[in-house]
Homo-oligomer: A and B are copies of this chain.
Amino acid sequence: MILNLDPRSNTPIWEQVVHQIKELILKEILQPEDKLPSVRELSGTLLINPNTVSKAYQELERQGIIETLRGKGTFVSASITPRADEQKITEMKQQIKQLVIEASYLGIDQQTLAEWIKKFSAELGGSNKYVKND
A residues sitting closer than 8 Å to B (CB atoms) are 19, 22-23, 26, 63, 65, 80, 82-85, 88-89, 92-93, 95-110, 113-114, 116-118, 120-121, 123-124, 128, 130-134
Complex alpha-carbon distance, A23 and B109, angstroms: 15
- Whether A99 lies near B101 (C-beta < 8 A) is no
Q: Which one of A93, A98, A105, A128 has the highest number of Cβ atoms from chain B below 10 Å of its Cβ? A: A105
B residues in contact with A85, CB < 8 Å = 106
- Whether B117 lies near A131 (C-beta < 8 A) is no
Q: Which one of A22, A88, A117, A133 has the highest number of Cβ atoms from chain B below 10 Å of its Cβ? A: A117
B residues in contact with A99, CB < 8 Å = 92, 95-96, 99, 117
B residues in contact with A103, CB < 8 Å = 92
B residues in contact with A23, CB < 8 Å = 101
- Whether B108 lies near A96 (C-beta < 8 A) is no
Among B88, B89, B110, B120, contact of A100 (Cβ-Cβ < 8 Å):
B120
Q: Which residue of B lies closest to A86 (CB)?
A: B106
Among B100, B101, B106, B124, contact of A101 (Cβ-Cβ < 8 Å):
B124
Complex alpha-carbon distance, A101 and B88, angstroms: 13
Contact of A109 with B96 at beta-carbon distance under 8 Å, contacts A101-B19, A101-B23, A101-B26 already known = no
